[in-house]
A and B are shown apart, each in its own frame.
Chain A
């Protein structure tokens, strides 16, 4: 008979041997009065259920309360294998492996014995976003792993009738040291499951860490080199039909009439879109006239009702509105230090610059898709999602089924980048399944993925700086005009300050006595969302370009100028110096080459990048190299951090060189990759990454590599050409890609 044991304990009782880090890391992880509960069940193995109370920033912004229910699990198999189940997802960032690495460390097992899978969603599940998987769950997961280890050791001591102090765990085996008797974790699991989890698990001391900080091979990679990795788009279920969706060409429009079902196509009205259902993906896409050059000869003619307001969804109009709001909009103050207005009047010199940023697409390699099997009593969903808990809620609202009747399988994600937090494609798939009463896989044609993204918002930002005679910044006024992601979702009041729109513009590391940062909400209705690094993706460009402009005005080397402004900020200074050294800042450049530098903090992580370019003209440039230094606190897997910096740099590079989407009559200018150029092999710089490792609490890795790239590139480009790029992207006329 399975024994069951429940214990609840406050998370604040967690302690750690390494006293120097315990305080700061506990602060990171104990958000509110969270309680963790352990349940161990003896069912031929062992499963520790526990609650990871951390919420990613998106969940917090949505008003989600911290979870108190079980949402994560550590399982020990009879063969002593370890499975870590976590409610997040693997979208390429490697954190599912990184989290398993923490558990493997505390359980003292070989890495080859560990698996990592997505946990089934609970009512409040983790949302993958905000570069938070490791930094939010680092200490709780280590604690859970340590609890399991102590229970296994206790079980062995009980079996042998010896003191715990005579037993040690290693490599999946507990040994009674004096007699050399051994038992495997798998053999001990049933007895361990009957024990009370310790109230105060003892973490492995820093000096004994064997896996944390090592570049272990990621668990998801082997199946990504042979086609066996299953992404959402690869799901196949029995008797499944295939759907593709086409939205109204104009935002705000709806379907006016339904075509008749014919030629094996069933149509489904989705309100602002229509779905074609067929026996295969190609036929469904062809029916709507998308999915390829020969997409069914244009597909059916659809009748759309397009409201007059669609004409207002227009980028030229938006730019004019932004300029008006910049000049005379009613600002909300996000940060005020000292009296910048007064200080500006007495400054020895001033400088003002205005920067503009376009809408950007996520452009995940895997288009949006979702597979649904709906019956009268159950709903099973397979989806590449960053928010499995929300998927459950979405399906419940449409089907009327209780949450407990809805099973969500989180597949691998072919990129997420913030787009796969959203629920639009999930809701469509569930609606189609409900309408046609068949298992169905919905796949968005690439044209729809670009045409109906939830875009990185457009921005107009202005900075005015005042310098004294010694080039110190005595006044700084920054105004940011942009639509608010949070207000558009109703998560904050319309017009209220959106902290994600002003992030990286506030809390600057530089010495400046008087500073104000204002936010003005732009009324544009284009759907906007969370794009890798969110507000940092534009604010850091503004700040780090403008610092460079001030350095130029002062006639001081921009690295030296930053060093002076950061004199009292040792963390930033160390990262800046490391990047400058790695990028050879003080070394001679070949003819025609130029360097730029930038630094920023995002998601708790400080990154500095030095970009070297060559062949810069008014219409193009070649990025030769990028040197990146990063301080993200304690590093779990340095190779994963390096990969994220490399990826962030490439992502940032594509976006500033070419990325832009404009709107006319509510229609996006981009429908496919041929008009949305991304860095390819021939464009690649050599990227070098230096990690400044330390034992501070882990901070984010997925996003912080992006922000400094743009301004470092712009600063290099200015040095090469005298052209200061204040309106993004650099080269809109070069933003096409052809085949081959």
Chain B
């Protein structure tokens, strides 16, 4: 049995392989699907979560590394899903297109929130929403 603290909730889960990346434990075993698989090699950032407040790419982080630490996923950003300043700004500026990378983008932005303009984010968005992401982070700092 592996014990994980995800968004303040303790999950006791059976993991078939201790090397299983945290991403797939979160998605397939815990059942929180907001964290996305994009590349599996820590390049695209779609799988970004916070571990003790630091943005980490969960696709290549073994679940055992996350035990005993505070894991925050996109589902834990706010209780109602729309009231965090980043979420408000994302909606106000109509940031997402397909939206698939946006969980990772918001988690990357959350690491340094409030502050900054997101210029250090290296996640990939094929739809090309970067300009709006930057503007939304700047706006969220004021909300």
Task: Write the residues of chain A forming the contact surface with B, with a CB cutoff of 8 angstroms.
Answer: 91-94, 215, 217-218, 220-231, 233-234, 236, 242, 264, 279-283, 285-286, 290-295, 363-367, 412-417, 443, 445-446, 639, 643, 646-651, 672-674, 678-682, 684, 686-687, 737-740
Instruction: List chain B residues, Cβ under 8 A from A279.
Output: 16
A413–B34 touching, CB < 8 Å = no
Selected from B75, B127, B131, the residue in CB contact (under 8 A) with A92 is B127
Question: Nearest chain-B residue to A736 (Cβ)?
Answer: B43
A366–B33 touching, CB < 8 Å = no
Contact mask for chain B residues 91-103; partner A; CB cutoff 8 A; 1 contact, 0 none: 1001111111111
Judge if B139 is at the interface, Cβ distance under 8 Å.
no
A81 to chain B, nearest CB (A): 19
CA–CA, A367 and B28, complex, Å: 16
A227–B101 touching, CB < 8 Å = no
CA–CA, A367 and B39, complex, Å: 9
B41–A217 touching, CB < 8 Å = no
A226–B34 touching, CB < 8 Å = yes
Question: Nearest chain-B residue to A217 (Cβ)?
Answer: B94
Selected from A283, A292, A687, the residue in CB contact (under 8 A) with B41 is A292
A292–B21 touching, CB < 8 Å = yes
Judge if B71 is at the interface, Cβ distance under 8 Å.
no
B87 to chain A, nearest CB (A): 4
Instruction: List chain A residues, Cβ under 8 A from B134.
Output: 681, 684
Selected from B41, B42, B74, B123, the residue in CB contact (under 8 A) with A680 is B123
- Pairs across A and B, CB under 8 Å, 5 listed: A92-B96, A93-B97, A365-B38, A673-B38, A681-B134
B94–A681 touching, CB < 8 Å = no
A623 to chain B, nearest CB (A): 12
Chain B interface size, as a band, is 35 or more
Selected from B20, B35, B94, B128, the residue in CB contact (under 8 A) with A282 is B20
CA–CA, A228 and B60, complex, Å: 23
Known: A215-B94, A643-B94. 13 other contacts (CB 8 A): A92-B98, A221-B91, A221-B96, A225-B95, A225-B106, A227-B32, A280-B20, A282-B24, A293-B41, A367-B37, A648-B128, A650-B127, A678-B126
Selected from B59, B99, B126, the residue in CB contact (under 8 A) with A412 is B99
Judge if B138 is at the interface, Cβ distance under 8 Å.
no
B29–A415 touching, CB < 8 Å = no
A222–B131 touching, CB < 8 Å = no
A98 to chain B, nearest CB (A): 13
Instruction: List chain A residues, Cβ under 8 A from B77.
Output: 226
Question: Nearest chain-B residue to A443 (Cβ)?
Answer: B37
CA–CA, A613 and B98, complex, Å: 28
Given known A217-B91, A226-B75, A679-B130, contact A414–B98 (CB-CB < 8 A): yes
Selected from A222, A280, A443, the residue in CB contact (under 8 A) with B91 is A222
B141 to chain A, nearest CB (A): 16
Judge if B78 is at the interface, Cβ distance under 8 Å.
yes
A92–B39 touching, CB < 8 Å = no
Instruction: List chain B residues, Cβ under 8 A from A686.
Output: 131
Instruction: List chain B residues, Cβ under 8 A from A222.
Output: 81-82, 91
CA–CA, A681 and B33, complex, Å: 25
CA–CA, A230 and B24, complex, Å: 16
B33–A234 touching, CB < 8 Å = yes
A217 to chain B, nearest CB (A): 6
CA–CA, A91 and B98, complex, Å: 5
CA–CA, A639 and B93, complex, Å: 9
Given known A282-B28, A739-B42, contact A639–B94 (CB-CB < 8 A): yes
Judge if B66 is at the interface, Cβ distance under 8 Å.
no
Question: Nearest chain-B residue to A216 (Cβ)?
Answer: B94
A492 to chain B, nearest CB (A): 30
Judge if B31 is at the interface, Cβ distance under 8 Å.
yes
B89 to chain A, nearest CB (A): 9
Selected from B60, B100, B124, B132, the residue in CB contact (under 8 A) with A366 is B100
B34–A227 touching, CB < 8 Å = yes
B16–A280 touching, CB < 8 Å = yes
Instruction: List chain A residues, Cβ under 8 A from B129.
Output: 643, 646-647
A225–B28 touching, CB < 8 Å = no
Question: Nearest chain-B residue to A680 (Cβ)?
Answer: B122
B76 to chain A, nearest CB (A): 9
Judge if B19 is at the interface, Cβ distance under 8 Å.
yes
A345 to chain B, nearest CB (A): 46
Question: Nearest chain-B residue to A230 (Cβ)?
Answer: B33
- Residues facing A in B25-78 (CB within 8 A) are 27-29, 31-44, 46, 57, 59-60, 62, 73-75, 77-78
A681–B37 touching, CB < 8 Å = no
CA–CA, A445 and B35, complex, Å: 16
A530 to chain B, nearest CB (A): 16
Given known A285-B40, A446-B38, A673-B44, contact A224–B119 (CB-CB < 8 A): no
Judge if B9 is at the interface, Cβ distance under 8 Å.
no
Instruction: List chain B residues, Cβ under 8 A from A647.
Output: 97, 127-129
B37 to chain A, nearest CB (A): 7
A225–B90 touching, CB < 8 Å = yes
Instruction: List chain B residues, Cβ under 8 A from A682.
Output: 119, 122
CA–CA, A444 and B57, complex, Å: 20
B17–A283 touching, CB < 8 Å = yes
Selected from B43, B99, B131, the residue in CB contact (under 8 A) with A414 is B99
CA–CA, A29 and B3, complex, Å: 58
Given known A365-B98, A680-B130, contact A672–B41 (CB-CB < 8 A): yes
Instruction: List chain A residues, Cβ under 8 A from B99.
Output: 92, 220-221, 224, 229, 412, 414
CA–CA, A646 and B74, complex, Å: 25
Selected from B60, B73, B81, the residue in CB contact (under 8 A) with A294 is B60
Instruction: List chain B residues, Cβ under 8 A from A242.
Output: 28
B16–A225 touching, CB < 8 Å = no
B81–A282 touching, CB < 8 Å = no
